[in-house]
Amino acid sequence: MTSQTDAPAPATEQRKSASSGKRVLVLAGIALLAFMSLGSWAFSSPVGSSPDDRYHLASIWCNETFGESCEENEQGKNMLPAALLDSPCFLGSPTTSAGCQPLMDGTDPRLQPDPGSDVDRNLYPGGFYTVLHFFTTDNIEVAILTMRLFNVLLFVLSGVVLWITLARRLQRTLVWTWALTLIPLAAFLIPSTNPTSWAIVGVGMAWLALLGYFEATGWRVYVLGALYVVLVAVATGARSDSTLFVGATSIITLFMTQADKKTLIRRFILPAAAGLGVITWLIFKPGQIGIITEGFGERAQQSYPDELPWQTGVEVSTGFDWSLFWYNTWDAPALWLGMFGDYPWGALGWLDTVMPQAVTALVTWMILGVTFIALRNAWWQKWFAAGSMIFLAWFIPVWTLQQGGHKIGEQIQPRYLIPLFIVAIGVLLLQKRSDQVLIASRAGQVGIIVALSIANSVALHANTRRYTTGTVRGGIDLDYERDWWWSSLPNFLGANALWVIGSLSFFALLWFAIRNVNSVGEPPQSHPEGLSGPVATPPPGVVLGTGTGTKETEGKPARVRGRHSASSRSST
């Protein structure tokens, strides 16, 4: 005879199946919203709008990795489509729209010699150029959009794999880190043809993949290990300095893991092998690493409109310039604020697309607020890791600029440092336990979501306006008397439509992602193997704390729901 306790089993299995299906739908929806959000940024600026696009587009089109290259003229100059070389016709003039561009649909047969053919192409590792070269076609517009959307897909897929495989506390770090650091610079650069796109994705994701790899169990160990290797390759193939950054952040991760020593030693072979590969790569492709150690060359030999105010006349010194060091030391944080749109170094494009200051204010306030809340639950490894990241983001620009006598704002831009800063913010947001929720109140979550969504919408509108009409026109209507838009898009997908889609998608993305990871319960994956301490399973009726660390709840036993038994009442 079947016992009564066996009867509910089919119903339990059905509930588990329904719950699993719901999780898949939620994840698919979040991935689609992320793609639509960053995809809207991909459409918000024309061909040639990414920083130094003349150099990078020429490197993509004339890539020689697989034997293909551009034709050369008698002087040995690479012959490129004239439309591609003329695409940044709006460079340096915010009042000039992208309507000055020639046709980008492949109907312009002209070829022109690339004036930058003599520029050293070994400054960058080349992996970024090699992959994007496969998307080149005669239709320049379609080729550029394909490259941008491919980079968006790389970011989204990396995030999805991390979401599926990470434990709850690392899921929260993943979501909060990118929610706070995307706008506006990262959102502009990820869907671009600038190698910093891959640097942001590789460095910004790899440290979480490695941290999860040390703490995961079962098949998730292999998935996270493979993802870490891929992300290291992405960062290494983008920029030489991002290779250095991914190595530094991987070392810092060793101090953050909660895996026991036995597990850490057993799994250390993967990052060690990756580190060996990185070192080998830097030996053959040093690229910008030499710039970090030697500087950009002497400022006095370069064309700058003004001299340093303390180096006039007899005050010029040939020794260590302590005045410059003092100036750069206290002005270096200007590069950090530039990541969030602060004027002037936070301008997008070729530093000619100024962001409204509301963008900087909203994003900075949210970062400071959430970070200070996260610091209520800190331990010495967290302080050490975060301090190391901030020190590197401070020291590298100061030291590099000192070598050539440059001041902050010259040579080094915020985009060079944004991968490091993303990791620094992520480390500050990392919590020690899965039941520690950063923002427990619904009102707090909604406030942050609304603020970041407004910042994204305003930044996206400003970036689109700069190219559709130039800054000579204003107002909310981006399609009114516009001079430029993508000819390959249908009429109903105009500038206004893409702006609305991008704004609403980003709001929905934050809403579902933040609300989902802020639940206290652990996701389906099991508790990480090798973590120190026992796994506490609360008895029925116990309410788990939010982990906010308030004095009223810390150190107190969990409250049990329901009425006390008669015996307990009588004993009192």
Instruction: State how far the alpha carbon of 553 is from the alpha carbons of 98, 134, 334, 544, 550, in Å.
Output: 58, 57, 40, 11, 6
Residue closest to 463 by CA, chosen among 208, 192, 250, 219: 192
Chain center to CA of 307: 36
Instruction: Please report the pLDDT score of residue 184 as a whole number.
Output: 96
d(Cα 96, Cα 466) in Å, to the nearest integer?
8
pLDDT of residue 21 exceeding 90, the answer is no
Instruction: State how far the alpha carbon of 166 is from the alpha carbons of 162, 171, 216, 520, in Å.
Output: 6, 6, 7, 15
Instruction: State how far the alpha carbon of 480 is from the alpha carbons of 111, 474, 475, 477, 496, in Å.
Output: 34, 10, 9, 6, 9
337, 346 in Cβ contact below 8 A? yes
Instruction: Please report the pLDDT score of residue 271 as a whole number.
Output: 87
d(Cα 12, Cα 18) in Å, to the nearest integer?
10
The predicted-structure confidence for 202-211, as pLDDT tens digits, reads as follows: 999 999 999 9
DSSP 488: T
The predicted-structure confidence for 148-192, as pLDDT tens digits, reads as follows: 999 999 999 999 999 999 999 999 999 999 999 999 999 999 999
d(Cα 53, Cα 132) in Å, to the nearest integer?
14
Strand partners, 259: 531
Instruction: Please report the pLDDT score of residue 120 as a whole number.
Output: 60
d(Cα 286, Cα 242) in Å, to the nearest integer?
11
Q: Please state the rounded mean pLDDT for residues 498-520.
A: 91
Q: Please state the rounded mean pLDDT for residues 374-385.
A: 87
Amino acid at 217: T
Instruction: Please report the pLDDT score of residue 115 as a whole number.
Output: 81
Residue closest to 185 by CA, chosen among 330, 287, 38, 54: 38
> What does the mean pLDDT of the chain come to?
83
Strand partners, 113: 79
φ and ψ at 378, to 5 degrees?
-125, 155
Q: Which range is least confidently modeled, 73-77, 202-206, 333-337, 392-396?
A: 73-77
DSSP 314: G
Instruction: Please report the pLDDT score of residue 427 as a whole number.
Output: 93
360, 340 in Cβ contact below 8 A? yes
Strand partners, 560: 542
Q: Give the HSE-up count for residue 274: Cα atoms under 13 Å, Cβ half-sphere.
A: 27
DSSP 354: P
pLDDT-derived band at 435, boundaries 50, 70, 90? confident
d(Cα 499, Cα 311) in Å, to the nearest integer?
48
Contacts of 479 (CB under 8 A, 6+ apart): 468, 485, 494, 495, 496
pLDDT-derived band at 406, boundaries 50, 70, 90? confident
Tokens of 138: 């005669």
Ordered DSSP codes for 338-400:
HTTT-TTTT-BTTTTBPPPHHHHHHHHHHHHHHHHHHTTS--HHHHHHHHHHHHHHHHHHHHH
pLDDT-derived band at 494, boundaries 50, 70, 90? very high
Tokens of 432: 């020690």
Report the percent of the chain where pLDDT is more than 90.
Answer: 49
Task: For the chain, give every domain's residue range.
Answer: 33-49+126-305+332-517
